[in-house]
Each structure stands twice: as C-alpha cells, then as structure tokens.
A and B are shown apart, each in its own frame.
Chain A
C-alpha cells in the first residue's frame, strides 16, 4: 500500500534511534517544515481566508497574481537554501582535521539541495515571476497568451518545490549535487530515494519552465499593443523574449536527461550505466546542453531589469538601445555553442577544448557592450542612488570580476588546474549572485510599488544592499584563494589548517548574506506597516518610462482601460511629456477576461503526488495521479464558459476614479521621490 515507505524514512525516528547533532539537525529541519506548514494552515483557517485564497489567488489566471505567487515561492525557497549555505560554511569552518558536526552523507545532501533549490526553485520562479508580472504590462497587453497554461506552469513549479520540502520530512535527498551525474546517481551507487526526489522535482520544474517559455514568447510575438514594433519594446521585454526562447530550446535537454536517468533507475535500462553499453558522457552532454543556456536564462532577465532601472534612475533614454538588443540576441545564440566548457577535463581532446574555450570567451564581447551601455546611460544623467540603482551598480562592478575569473576558467589549461575546486564555486556564485540575485532584488524593489500600490522602505533597502554586497565579497573572495590553493569543492572535512582563516571569513560572509535576506523581510514588514504613508496609487513613482507605469498601482485586472497606441520607444515617458498620459478614453468598451480555473492547481498537485508515488514506488498513487491530470485537462477542454466580461460602465468607473486621483495628486520632482509626498505622480521636468 505504501510502497517502500517505512517509519525509518522520517528524520524524527532516525534522530530518536541515534541522537547525534547530525540527525538532530535533520529532524529540526523536518520539524521546521511541518510546523511551518501547520502554522500556515492554522493561520489561514483562523482568519477564514481559504475561500478568498482559493478564488482570488490559487485558481486565478491573472498574470499579475501568478507573477506574485512565483516570487513568493522564490522567497520561501531562497530562505531555505540560504540557511543551508550557512550550514555548509559552518561545517567547513569547524571541520578542520576533525569530522565536524555534519556527517558526510548529510553534507552531500545539503550541497545538493542548496544547488538544486537555488537554480530551479529560487532563481527560475523569481525571474518567471518578474517576467509574468511585467511583460504583459510593458507591451500593453491584457494578459499572457495562454492564461490557464500559465497557471499550470506555476503549480508545476509549486509541486516541485513541495517535493523539495517533502524530502526534508520523508526520506532523504540526492547526494549527487545539483547536476546529478551518473553513474553515481544510478541504482548501483545511490540505491535510496534521494536521486528520485531530485529527478522528479527537477522534471516538474523543467516542464513548467518549458511552458513558461512558450507562453512568454507567444505573448511577445502576438500580443504587443498596436504600434509597438520590435524596436520600440522595452529592453526587459527583449531579454524576456530571449530567455523564453532559451527555455523552449534548452529545457527539453534537461527533461530528456532526467527522464533517461529515470529509465535507468526504474526500468533497468542502460543509458548512463557503466556496464552493458551505457554511455555516461551522454548525460554530461545532455545536462550541459541545458545547463549552459540555463546560465543565460538566469542572467538575461536580470540584464533587462538593470536596463530598466539604470535608465529610470538616470532619467535618460538607454544609451545604445540597438546595441543592447543585438548584444542580448548574440548572447542567446552563443549560449548554445559553449556547453563543453563544463567538462574540459573529461577527455574530448585539445582541439575540441580550444574551440569551446574560444567560443566561451566570445560571449564576453556582447556582455562588455552591455556594461558600457549602462555606464554611458548613467553618464551625465540625473542619477539617484535608490536601492535598485545601488544593486545595479554593485552588479556592474562585481560581475566584471566574475567575468575575469570566467576567462581563466574558459582557458582549458588553466581550467585543468582549478576545476572542481572552490575557485569554480567562487566563480559561479560571482556570476549568479550579482547577475541574477541582485537583478531580481532590484526588480522586486523597482516594481513592488506597481504591484501593491506602495513603496518599499528605502532605508531598509539600503541596509539590505550593504549586507548583500559586503556579504558577497566576504563569502566568496576567500573561496577564490582556497580554490587556487587547491581546496576541492564539496569537501566535508578539511585537512590543511592554513585554510582556517579563509573558511572563517567565508562563514562570516554567509552570515552577512543571511542578514541581507533578513533585512529584505524586515523591509517588507516595515513597508506594509507604513503602507499608507508610502502609497503611490497614481502609479508612476519613479518618473519611469515604460507602459507598465501608465496605469494605476496596483493595476486593474485588465491592466489598461483602453489598449494604448505606441508611437516610439519609452512610450509612457513620451506621453507624459506631451501631456497625453492622464486622460479619459473617448469611449469605453466591454473587456473580456479569462475566468478562473482550478485546472492548474489540480494538475500541479496531482503531478507532485504522482512524483511522490514514483519516488516511494507507490504505484497506485502514481497511476491515479496520472489519471487525474489527464482527466482535468480533458474536462477543461470541454468547458465553454471560460470567460468573464467586465462591462464598459465598470471600466469607465474604475478609470475615471483613477484619473480623479491623478488630478488630485501633487506631482513630486525626482529628487523627492523617496519622500512620503510621492503619490505616484511624477513632476514632468525636461
């Protein structure tokens, strides 16, 4: 009935049988998940909010709400993965010539979940959330092209995140790292359920991301407002488009890799085994054929955010818009040509390595173009050092350092020296923390007032900024040193005592980064508390440029009362300057909106249960879940009553109320935008 599931799968039982610090940490983490879940359920029940959550959020297909839920998932998972990072650094700092407090197997699970979560369940949901929220607004659309598919994608990601959480409470996670290389992850070497958790969680999230890619690409191709030609699109839309295309082409490689690994583990096949004709290099190629473009799936949206932020807070048109677009496209294309640099040392010969090394370095050119463009945008602009702007500037400096070390790693002979050491760990964190996380945080702070109608506390934003930047340098610069000195990554016990000061410094850095996360939460709390003082309902708090600012904050569910006509780049800025921004429409029309559907939730939850059934060999559960998925999908195709109409009168009422608010608001000059006087109406200066 319950397959391989036994009581020993529960960390509490294990901790009871053999109470060591190691097991207690495991049990504690499991307890946090359970208590957290129970508290959330209890709180929602007490507030009587289940119906509200179900009808307004969980079954919603509004791209704005889906975007917000994605970002919520990202923050929850970021918290967990950052705690794991602190634990990893603690273990290494104390385990110098002693075993430390975390046993090798547990330590291996820690770095595996840390990596898997940060990539698949923090970074991907975060950028997907931002894209979901912003892109339709920026192109003047009412929603994405496939709203209910959007909900399915969200709930697949949520289901995968749920599996990651379940692995803390039931059983164990993979010890094979975030890349899950066979043959180590084959049954012979990893017989437990760990790799199965990894396989199915990643598969759910990669399917979700593939659907997101399709949705975003089609939205951008087909739903742009009249007049918004390609070269009038905000840069964030361009980077979102390229990210979407990368998702469409790269995610299938990951799906193939994980499913073939599953075929080996479940059906006894021999794709990647080290016997009977298996070829493990196939896995490495498949995985990195996804894995390298993934790097650009992650950084391109952040590049888009920086472009928007730098332009808005310098009050200048982006310098070299065309070159930024071309550089984005070039990066997207080149990203598929370099995957071999992830395994220079696996014996494909000097010529192949040289070709891929050179191809890798070529990516530095378009990236450099972008950095220069941002710098020139700031030059002679009216730069305001708001938190998003600070993150953008920190990104530029830090990312360039990461680029230099990337050149070192892209040179095959040098790569032979430092591959698989902490140098590599330092390098990719050096790319991804500024190149992804800073961008996501900047975007979150930049668009937050749009989504919720009030600004985030700038003071706490600056505190968070200091923590994220200082913490980064403190945590990762020592790793470069350690890596150059030859310390292998994923090391549970360290034997060279000269490494100690560096490891302690890195631990301090991790703690400062954790403080950075805490300050983001404090910022959120403080800002919600002071939301009335910081309200910006008119919707344009930064004197910004794209169409997303041309509507109220938060926007009505249909985004725009009338679809705007676009005649140039920075459409809203132009309209403001020409006094065309806050006027009622000639006449209002009925607006058709997609209705709510429970299909997304049902499919996501059933997929998670299906995966859980597969992990524990509970075949009836897996089979039943598949039937539910198919059934709800087919049932949905039969429903004809999927749309809802907002009447013209209602649209007019809402629009006129907003315009009255704008007329009554006092405009603020840019210098005072962080002031309580800011109601979201910018004073139009030259």
Chain B
C-alpha cells in the first residue's frame, strides 16, 4: 500500500501525517509487535507468580511474609508507580496535542523521577529485609519473592533507561516519527509494569500480610 498520503498515516493517539516516509502498515505493525512482546513478557511474570505461589510454604523455618513485608512502604510505592503511569499519560497527551516537545520532555522527566523514587524505596525495603537476615539464599520462599519483585524492579530500571534514551532522542531529533512510535511503545511498557505491580501488591504484599 505504498504511496498513500494524508490522513492514512494516523494511528490511535498519534498523528503522523507529516511523516510520509512511514506507511500506516509499518506504524501499526511496529506497535502491534510490541503488544505481542508484552504478551510474552506477561507469560514470564505469570510463571514467576505461579512459582511464588507454590513456594509460600517453603520458608524452611526462616522469615515468612508476615514478619518481613511492610504495608506502609509498599502502599507508598504503589501510589508512586500509579502516579507515574498518570504522568506518562500526560506525556502521551502532550505528544499528541502539544505545540512543542517541551511538555512531553517535562512529563517524561517527572515520570523518570517517580520511577527512580520507586526503585529507591524498593531497594530500601530490600536492604531492610537483608538486615533481618531475610536474604534470597535463606529459603525457597525468599528466593521466589526476591526474583519476582526483583524482576519487576529490573523492568522498571530498563524502563527508566529507556526514558532517558528517549529524552536524549527528543533533544537530538525533535519529534520525528520514530521517536513518536518509540514513545508509544515505551508508554505501553510503562503501563504494563504498573499493572504487574498492582498484581504484586495484591498477591504478594496484601495477601502475605493477611495470613
């Protein structure tokens, strides 16, 4: 379908009319491909959740959920991450409607700070657990806890790195089509991490403290 022009270059949440080098088909398949990747990633998290579930009994006499999980910090982390999803939403809005790239840049910066704050708090939690002797080497339960939550943290780290790369690219290229497509993908990724965290909060922290 080469050679179409004008409104054909639209994608939900994104106007690419001014970029005749990209066809609708390319834009669509680029975004769709990332959705498929996220499905694969979701399988990884689902399996880690399943492993965690079966390992709850494997505390081997070591610290269990009730002793180690602190609802306060976990709740605060949830709020921070949810807020960062909101600020990313604002970034997407200003990419679509903003007159310049400045708004987008600023919202990405805020999101980045929230992401880093989340990571900082999470590391702080981990350090506190380590100080009590709740290290991943202590029991199967703790191994699965640290790998599940740590995997999410690793994803957030990757997302933060990605945000930095995109901020640099905005400075270098402005808002060209590739930058826009990448920010859409990054947005999907960031919201996906939020969803995963909500499940972690419910399944790991809330449920752990109910026991």
Contacts and interface: CB of A to CB of B under 8 A. Distances in A.
Given A638-B172, A640-B178, A267 B137 contact: yes
Nearest to B28: A222
* B interface residue count range (under 10 / 10 to 19 / 20 to 34 / 35 or more): 35 or more
18 contacts: A145-B30, A145-B33, A218-B29, A221-B32, A222-B29, A248-B40, A248-B43, A252-B41, A252-B44, A269-B143, A270-B58, A271-B55, A275-B60, A276-B60, A277-B143, A289-B47, A637-B182, A640-B178
Given A271-B143, A589-B3, A637 B169 contact: yes
A446 B57 CA distance: 55
Contacts of A248: 36, 39-40, 43
B134 to A, nearest CB: 13
A634 interface: yes
A33 interface: no
A601 to B, nearest CB: 22
Nearest to A643: B21
Contacts of A226: 1
B10 to A, nearest CB: 16
Interface in B163-180: 165, 169, 172-173, 176, 178
Interface string B139-150: 111011011000
A553 to B, nearest CB: 25
B185 to A, nearest CB: 11
Given A253-B47, A282-B51, A638-B172, A276 B36 contact: no
* A interface residue count range (under 10 / 10 to 19 / 20 to 34 / 35 or more): 35 or more
A201 interface: no
Interface string A214-257: 11011101110010000000000000000000001101110110
5 closest cross-chain pairs (CB), A and B? A277-B58, A277-B140, A269-B143, A222-B29, A277-B60
B74 interface: no
B171 to A, nearest CB: 11
A319 interface: no
B124 interface: no
Given A223-B25, A253-B43, A269-B136, 9 more contacts: A145-B33, A256-B44, A263-B136, A269-B146, A271-B55, A277-B59, A277-B60, A278-B58, A282-B54
Contacts of B3: 589
A286 interface: yes
Interface in A385-407: none
B43 A270 contact: no
Contact of B44 (A255, A269, A640): A255
A263 to B, nearest CB: 6
B140 A279 contact: yes
A260 B44 CA distance: 12
A634 B139 contact: no
A268 B137 contact: yes
Contacts of A145: 29-30, 33
Nearest to B140: A277
Contact of B29 (A223, A256, A634): A223
Contacts of B147: 260, 263, 269, 271
A213 B39 CA distance: 12
B37 interface: yes
B48 interface: yes
B151 to A, nearest CB: 9
Interface of B: 1-3, 21, 25, 28-30, 32-33, 36-37, 39-41, 43-44, 47-48, 51, 54-55, 57-60, 62, 136-141, 143-144, 146-147, 161, 165, 169, 172-173, 176, 178, 182
Contacts of B44: 252, 255-256
A271 B176 contact: no
Contacts of A286: 47, 51
Given A146-B33, A589-B2, A267 B60 contact: no
A217 B36 contact: yes
Given A249-B43, A640-B176, A277 B141 contact: yes
A634 B25 CA distance: 24
Contacts of A278: 58, 140, 143
A309 interface: no
A219 B138 CA distance: 46
Contacts of A269: 136-137, 140, 143, 146-147
Contacts of B30: 145
A214 B40 contact: yes
Nearest to A633: B165
A316 B161 CA distance: 56
A113 B127 CA distance: 41
B165 A279 contact: no
A242 to B, nearest CB: 14
Contacts of A638: 169, 172
A682 interface: no
Interface in A274-323: 275-279, 282, 286, 289
Given A223-B25, A277-B55, A589-B2, A637 B165 contact: yes
A634 B163 CA distance: 12
A256 B140 contact: no
Nearest to B36: A214
Given A270-B143, A277-B58, A218 B36 contact: yes
B140 A270 contact: yes
A219 B32 CA distance: 10
A76 to B, nearest CB: 28
A621 interface: no
A210 interface: yes
A248 B32 CA distance: 14
A279 B54 contact: yes
Nearest to B41: A252
Nearest to A270: B140
Given A277-B58, A279-B55, A589-B2, A271 B144 contact: yes
Contacts of B59: 277
A213 B21 CA distance: 27
A476 B143 CA distance: 43
A218 B138 contact: no
Given A251-B40, A637-B182, A260 B51 contact: yes
A226 B25 CA distance: 12
B168 to A, nearest CB: 8
A591 to B, nearest CB: 8
A585 to B, nearest CB: 13
A279 B58 contact: yes
Contact of B138 (A217, A221, A260, A276): A276
Contacts of A223: 25, 29
A256 B49 CA distance: 11
A252 B47 contact: yes
Contact of B140 (A146, A214, A219, A271): A271
Contacts of A251: 40
B93 to A, nearest CB: 23
A254 to B, nearest CB: 10
A390 to B, nearest CB: 38
B137 to A, nearest CB: 4
B146 to A, nearest CB: 8
Given A267-B137, A268-B137, A270-B58, A214 B172 contact: no
